[in-house]
Structures are given as C-alpha cells and as structure tokens.
Structure 1
C-alpha cells in the first residue's frame, strides 16, 4: 500500500511515522505521554482499528500502535519470520529500535496472541495485558488441519489479487464486517475497504495466518504471570465466547469481562467503554508490586466475571 495515495485520509494520520526495524519498514502511530502502552491489531486489520480508542488511552499513556508486518503500510516479513514467535521477536525488535519498554500490552484477536507470546518468551515484561477478542486457540478438526497450509498456498499464488477484487467491493466489505458480529462507523468501514482492495495486505494477512501454530501457546498459558484483562464481545462470531471462558481459566491472573451486544470488533464499536475498563484495570496493576511473588494472595487471585 502506498502511504501518499492510500493513506491520505488514514485515521490519526498526524500521529503516523515510519521506522526501520528487524529489516522491515514499519508504519507506527504514537500519541500521548507516560508509561508505554503497546497496541497490536488483529489479522487483516491495521492501525485504523484503534482510531477512537487510542486517543482516549493517550490521555494517560504513551500509546504505540504499529501496522504488523504485511499489514497496512508495513513491509511484509520474510517467510521464516511469519511464525508466532517470529512475529513476537519482530515487534520486540521494533520496540528496541524505538528505545521503548512496554509497561502494558493490549492486543486484539491475533494481536493478543502476539502480546501473550512476547510475555511468555520474556521479550517483554508487561505489568498488565489486555486481550480483546483474543484468538488463542487453533481451529478444531479438519478446519484446523487445513487452514494453515491453505493460507500458505493462497498467499504464494495469484489468489490475493483475485481476493482483493472481490473483497474490496462495497457490499462484500460490509458483509465481512457483519460476519464478525459487529457494527462499526463509516470511517472504519472505509478503512477496511482500503485494506481489502490491496492484494499486498490480503497476502500479508494470509501469510500471517499460514505461518502460525497456536497449540504451543495455549499449552503454556498457565505460565503467564502478567495480570490479564480479557474483554470479549458476547456477540463475537469470530472467536466463540466458550473459547474465551475456557482459556481465561488457564491464565492464573485473568479477569474475563463479557461485553453484551458487541461483536469481534467490540473495541471499535464502543471505544469509550473499552477505554474506561482498560484504564481502570491498568490503574489497579500500576499500584501492585511488579514482582508477582510480592503480591498479596488477594491481588494474585484470578477474578472472573
């Protein structure tokens, strides 16, 4: 995607910049001052996903939101770096280049998996994790067996250009958004339309999907030490609520909040609600000792709703 053509009306354009890190040119948005809050979008999305939530969080945090490799205006990652650990290392390299340490990490869908992987791999030591519509489980059955190889095959073929021609049509863009269970504003729809008309973006999303193996991540969730707020839309048609309930139980310090009437893009539907819940959570963890062993039993005990 071309920034001077496709990015002219990009949400929060005034906060955008480009950074060379991990051998890639990244599009990064930054705003606000204070502790660093890293936001990682999901597969097929980009920084526009945070268009309304990011300014609200920037009232108290230095918010950093990159386009993940192969998405939006960032370069694609080389094939060997498209695994989940590879993506986590690339994001960690970006932070190192920016000379920043993420005190908190927020991730949506696949971005949540990257944030969790960074914490589990000690690539970051966040005092708090915020997972939004987190996609942490592989597909089950035949779909799970076929999804990654199929995505890799499509990403290497001419299919992304065909997919962009179809997906970028107005009615198909709206249909794809509706399939998430969410209803978002026209600015968001327009940004997704721009992304879905880009074969490079579609190829990047498919490549990311094709390079992931989530089974090792879910197996190690009980080792996650960071206090975690899990926000999940009750109307999420992408990640079933039953998955959120099951996985939150595996994380020692997880709070699961069910958001009635919202879908997979819940943070885009109600950014004010998300900002309030996230800031309340982060206020709590900022008052807690950084070392989990120093927390009282009440602080360390998981809270689930």
Structure 2
C-alpha cells in the first residue's frame, strides 16, 4: 500500500476525498493524520460503496475550528457530510466523533464502527494524555518520536514514515485544538451507548495499550446491537498496518447495515 496524496473536494470548508459509488461510508481519521490514513480502506471499500474521507478540521486542507471547540463542534462540522444516511467509521479521535454522530444524528447513521477507541481511561493514562496536551504550544510542530513509538514501536515501515510526514506537516493550532479535545474526553457516556439505536462495532488491536481490548469489549456490552473485535498483533494504527483484517470486518459490517 502506498500513502500518496489523493485529490480532494471542498464541502462546506472540509477537504474531502471521495471515491466509488453506492451506499455511503464515512471515514473519520484521528488527531494529526489526514484522509490518506484510510488509503487501504478507500481502495477496497470503494469497489462496493461511496467513500467520503474528510480531513479533520485544522488538518491538511480543512479549515480549523476555534480553539475553544469541543467534541460536538467537530461532530457538527463532519455532520455536513451526512446529507444522506451512511455507515460512519472513526479511528481514535475519529471514533469519538463517529460515536457522537451516531448518538446525536441517529436518523442519518445506519451503523457505527469505532476503531481504537478509548473508554474510561485509567488515572495514569488520563494524566499522561493531559500532560501531552498541555505541552503543545499551538505554534511549533512537536517532535513526533514519542507518538510514533507508541503507535509503531521502533521498527521502520512505510506506515511509520507516512505518519511522521503527516505529524510534522500538521497545522500546530489545528493539532492543539483537536488534541486538547481528545485529551479532555474519556469516551462515550454509558447512557449514550445503552440508547444507541444502530448497529455498532468496536475494534482494536491486541497490542493496543491506550485503546485497549477491554475498553472495546466494555463499550460493545453496553450497546443493544454492539459487537467487539480484537485484531491480533495489531496496535494503534491497525487500519494502516492490518488493512486486510480491518477491511474484511468493515465490509461485513457495512453489508449487515444495508440489510
């Protein structure tokens, strides 16, 4: 898989990669990344579906939100792409947004997939992510070494190199705004999960230390039509590092949502 830049369309201030035709799947990436993080999914899923993959506000070519923006502001911005019903798939912070959309825009979300999503962080994890957010000055690009080590370990790979390029080219104010929201959230509200009306799939990797398998299983257990899945030997960037397993699960879930 290559991680080359794709052309974009402007939709109400969001830069969006579009591909394919058919029922719609909306892909929402995580903090510091861009639509190309979904390249492996766009390539496979667009053979059967219309794929929309926006850059988060303040990332790549998408306009930034105010620094005071919260999770629902990001969700309302992405919701501009729900002019017809879609299966919504999010990764990391994108999973937070996807679950928020499924709760607040239930009539437009046919199913939701949360990849590498957090839920009730430990006190140590909560302190660590808040410390990282506080260290961002919103002016300079942060050294991504520690982030890449959490995501990939020490081994070099094309995926690691692509993420390094994206993290070192991201807009500092946009990154700070998004990361501050990510650090301040602790996952979806339990009642929101219990009342989620659409099918939901929670996937993470067996080697994921921050968005753990236990978190995904706990969320799935609360959703009336929820399911958890763990990708063996995968960590945080499994849509890039384990695309075959992720794509197979997404295609099966999307088919279920069309029935």
> Which TM-score bucket, shorter chain as reference?
0.7 to 0.9
The within-5 A match list for 1:30-179 is: 30-80=18-68, 82-93=69-80, 95=81, 100-122=83-105, 125-135=108-118, 137=119, 139-141=121-123, 144=126, 147-148=129-130, 151=133, 153-155=134-136, 157=137, 160-161=139-140, 163=142, 166-167=143-144, 172=145, 176-179=147-150
Deviation at 1:105, TM superposition (A): 0.6
Distance 1:124 1:54, change over 3 A: farther
Between the two proteins, the alignment pairs up a number of residues equal to 256
Q: Describe the SS at the equivalent of 2:14.
A: strand
1:205 equivalenced with 2:192 (yes/no):
no
CA contact (8 A) 1:48 1:191 kept: no
Q: What is the CA–CA distance in structure 1 between the aligned matches of 2:121 and 2:57, rounded to whole Å? A: 23
Unaligned runs of 5+ in 1: 1-8, 288-305
1:238 equivalenced with 2:210 (yes/no):
yes
Deviations 1:40-91 (A, max 9, x none): 00122211210111110001110000010112222211134x2111111111
Q: What is the CA–CA distance in structure 1 between the aligned matches of 2:211 and 2:241, rounded to whole Å? A: 16
Deviations 1:212-261 (A, max 9, x none): 55358323211111101222111113312222222221112111111111
TM-score, structure 1 length as denominator? 0.74
Unaligned runs of 5+ in 2: none
CA contact (8 A) 2:96 2:117 kept: yes
Alignment equivalent of 1:251, drawn from 223, 226, 240 = 223
Q: Describe the SS at the equivalent of 1:229.
A: strand
Q: What is the CA–CA distance in structure 1 between the aligned matches of 2:128 and 2:156, rounded to whole Å? A: 34
State the Cα RMSD in Å.
2.8
